[in-house]
Amino acid sequence: GAVVSQHPSRVICKSGTSVKIECRSLDFQATTMFWYRQFPKQSLMLMATSNEGSKATYEQGVEKDKFLINHASLTLSTLTVTSAHPEDSSFYICSASDLPYDRGVSGNIQYFGAGTRLSVL
């Protein structure tokens, strides 16, 4: 159980185009979804947190207009990289939790998608 599907696994695009990445929880309701960015041989950097039906909470330094997050249902969240540039090339990973992201909630385990390798030419 607790499977998260992320699609596509790899995308190559031209500079200036927009890319949409989907993250789906297949066998549970993902109350909260997280989007991370990871550079080679480095740790995960949290970009934003979203609760179903609410606006995403972005981490400091992450451009909201650049990285659009939609979490319209309990099983689907999307990250759209708008007007992508070479510096946006990275490995993007989503994760999902079946617990709401809120103060006092702990013990939640995150279930990760397989990641999306974005290369912007």
Partner 1 sequence: SQQGEEDPQALSIQEGENATMNCSYKTSINNLQWYRQNSGRGLVHLILIRSNEREKHSGRLRVTLDTSKKSSSLLITASRAADTASYFCATDTGRRALTFGSGTRLQVQP
Q: Which residues bind partner 1 (CB under 8 A)?
A: 4, 6, 34, 41-44, 46, 49, 91, 93, 95, 101, 103-115, 117
Q: Minimum distance between the CB of residue 51 and partner 1, rounded to whole angstroms?
A: 11
Q: Which is nearer to partner 1, 15 or 42 (CB)?
A: 42
Q: Minimum distance between the CB of residue 29 and partner 1, rounded to whole angstroms?
A: 18
Q: CB of 31 within 8 A of CB of 98?
A: yes
Q: Which is nearer to partner 1, 23 or 84 (CB)?
A: 23
Q: Minimum distance between the CB of residue 52 and partner 1, rounded to whole angstroms?
A: 15
Q: Which is nearer to partner 1, 80 or 110 (CB)?
A: 110
Q: Is the dihedral of CA 65, 68, 71, 72 positive or negative?
A: positive
DSSP 14-60: -TT--EEEEEEESSS--SEEEEEEE-TTS-EEEEEEEETTSPPEEPT
Cα separation, 74 vs 71, whole angstroms: 7
Q: Which two tokens stand for residue 113?
A: 């998608």
Q: Which is nearer to partner 1, 79 or 93 (CB)?
A: 93
